[in-house]
Structure 1
Amino acid sequence: MSVAVDYEQAGELKIGQVGIANLRIRTLDVQRLTEEMRSRVQRAPNMFGRAAVVIDFGGLSQTPDAATAQALLEGLRAAGVLPVALAYGTSETERLSQALGLPLLAKFRASYERGEGAAEPVAAATPAAAVKREAAAPVAAAAEPARASRSAAPAAAAAASPSVGLIQSTPVRSGQQIYADNRDLTVLTTVGAGAEVIADGSVHIYGPLRGRALAGAQGNTKARIFCREFFAELVAIAGHYKVLEDIPKELRGKAVQIWLEDEQIKIAALD
């Protein structure tokens, strides 16, 4: 069962367009939130252990005081993740970020809101480009999501055109990331464990998927993921995700398609 949208949970966890998790607080219960996050880390340590997390208080009727927020940060760190920023919401949130010594990420909040109801991605303000880089430290990645997602540096082995999207012809190795800005992504070979492929559109992988694949990164709920051999650490569409531990064993190693239906990730073998 997908845990991406479960309103009985105190915190709703979504995966953003650069692989950073956004934790939207729905019930300000520090102990409960800590236990939920500890459970996620225990179930998928390779994905969530020491993961960068943006805290979003936008789901609450009132911004918490600094002492409560600080207790939450300490609880999340004890659970095994690294809170690195607050999602921008109100002037109270800005004051809270200053009290906590954390940055605000306005762009991340905007992407999250689009993901809750948008059917199509928002057009990028700059020309579409691919990003291929060595994995950065979590704090550095969280501090500059806008620059990372809009980088003009082309991937060395990738070619792009508006009609076919971005095509990656060489393996995506551990620690590397490919991002197809406002388009589909096609990987002709493998996505290794610890690698990440992200697209604002759909993702097509013609080899084994052992790392992470995120489609509909800007909120496109119609995006899909297709792969020839399915061993993914994590798959996500419009922020809703599943980790390998949640996936039926009979689908592992199979050719599959992945889509979003009623806010749940669906996975089916391809004939």
Structure 2
Amino acid sequence: MSVAVDYEQAGELKIGQVGIANLRIRTLDVPRLVEEMRSRVQRAPNMFGRAAVVIDFGGLSHTPDAATAQALLEGLRAAGVLPVALAYGTSEIEKLSQALGLPLLAKFRAGYERVDGAAAETAAPARRETPAPAPAAEPAKAAPRPPAGAAAVAQASSVGMIQSAPVRSGQQIYADNRDLTVLTTVGAGAEVIADGSVHIYGPLRGRALAGAQGNARARIFCREFHAELVAIAGHYKVLEDIPKDLRGKPVQVWLEDEQIKIAALD
């Protein structure tokens, strides 16, 4: 039931929390990259057709020259997507962005790196933790400091976001640093996003993205599965790739070894 991830792909595509895709170039082979993107668009035109894409050259040992990068941009546009920016990296990338007339998206790149890094699951919550200093008069009696991120994780798990109204086409619901629970339907063309897990107690016909800031332990649960797309920490699977025997069933979605897993709930 897992996604057949091709680790030899020239470009690794991940979905950002606002529907922008990050294309990290791993092999600078323009025809191959264009063909891979054309295949994605053909398989899931509602998801990828005219999708905004950020180009990330951070996976290469050398920054491409402007002519090669321009050829890639033109090829991707011909394949059906819209390159809108470069992911911020080095001073060479900044110069390349100026030559191409594209902006840099530093924040998007940072989110992508958190997905790959070992501290992905605790980096965002840890910033919210503010332990009180020990009293100056009685330092020996101060309570031991909890592990980094523990307080924030507990807070996030206890204060989830609840959406009681149906999420209709064109709507986007985002649970910042917490779980999201939808009590009714997520319609086709709608999008629900959470930094934690997503729980849907009705049909899921749109898109559900969990672990939006890189939490690979996040999961998606739904009572009736017809999703256009599901994603955990940027790794995604579209409807065309989902086994037909799971459609309409109660399922859970999780990430294992960087591959999306989907299984029916008993």
- Same fold, TM exceeding 0.5? yes
- Match for residue 166 of structure 1? 161
Q: Residues 121 and 182 of structure 1 are in contact (CA less than 8 Å); yes or no, is this contact kept in structure 2?
A: no
| Superposed counterparts of 1:89-128, under 5 Å | 89-117=89-117, 118-120=120-122, 122-123=124-125
Matched residue SS, 2:121: coil
- Match for residue 78 of structure 2? 78
CA distance in 1, matches of 2:168, 2:64: 41
Say yes or no: does 1:260 pair with 2:255: yes
How big is the alpha-carbon RMSD for the aligned residues of Structure 1 and Structure 2?
1.7
- Match for residue 230 of structure 1? 225
CA distance in 2, matches of 1:120, 1:223: 12
Matched residue SS, 2:209: strand
Q: Residues 54 and 87 of structure 1 are in contact (CA less than 8 Å); yes or no, is this contact kept in structure 2?
A: yes
Determine what percentage of the aligned residue pairs are the same residue.
Answer: 88
Say yes or no: does 1:50 pair with 2:44: no
Structure 2 vs 1, CA of residues 52 and 124 (structure 1 numbering), >3 Å: closer, same or farther? farther
Moved over 3 A (4+): 123-126
Provide Cα deviations, 1:111-154, integer angstroms capped at 9, x if missing partner. 0011113233513979xxxxxxxxxxxxxxxxxxxxxxxxxxxx
User: For this pair of structures, how many residues does the alignment match?
Assistant: 237
CA distance in 1, matches of 2:127, 2:208: 24
Structure 1 stretches lacking a partner, 5+ long: 127-160
Say yes or no: does 1:189 pair with 2:184: yes
Say yes or no: does 1:201 pair with 2:213: no
CA distance in 2, matches of 1:111, 1:52: 17
Structure 2 stretches lacking a partner, 5+ long: 129-155
Q: CA deviation at 1:16?
A: 0.9
Q: Residues 76 and 82 of structure 2 are in contact (CA less than 8 Å); yes or no, is this contact kept in structure 1?
A: yes
Q: Residues 6 and 12 of structure 1 are in contact (CA less than 8 Å); yes or no, is this contact kept in structure 2?
A: no
Provide Cα deviations, 1:207-258, integer angstroms capped at 9, x if missing partner. 0000000000000000000000000000000000000011000000000000
Matched residue SS, 2:114: helix
CA distance in 1, matches of 2:256, 2:226: 21
- Match for residue 2 of structure 1? 3
Q: Residues 24 and 57 of structure 1 are in contact (CA less than 8 Å); yes or no, is this contact kept in structure 2?
A: yes
Provide Cα deviations, 1:65-97, integer angstroms capped at 9, x if missing partner. 111000000000000000000000000000111
Worse-superposed segment, 13-22 or 78-87:
13-22
Q: Residues 228 and 254 of structure 1 are in contact (CA less than 8 Å); yes or no, is this contact kept in structure 2?
A: yes
- Match for residue 214 of structure 1? 209
CA distance in 1, matches of 2:200, 2:123: 21
Q: Residues 50 and 81 of structure 2 are in contact (CA less than 8 Å); yes or no, is this contact kept in structure 1?
A: yes
Matched residue SS, 1:122: helix
CA distance in 2, matches of 1:60, 1:237: 25
Matched residue SS, 1:35: helix
Provide Cα deviations, 1:34-64, integer angstroms capped at 9, x if missing partner. 0000000000000000000000000000000
Provide Cα deviations, 1:143-187, integer angstroms capped at 9, x if missing partner. xxxxxxxxxxxxxxxxxx872311001011111100101000000
Between Structure 1 and Structure 2, whose CA radius of gyration is higher?
Answer: 2
Say yes or no: does 1:246 pair with 2:241: yes
Structure 2 vs 1, CA of residues 181 and 121 (structure 1 numbering), >3 Å: closer, same or farther? farther
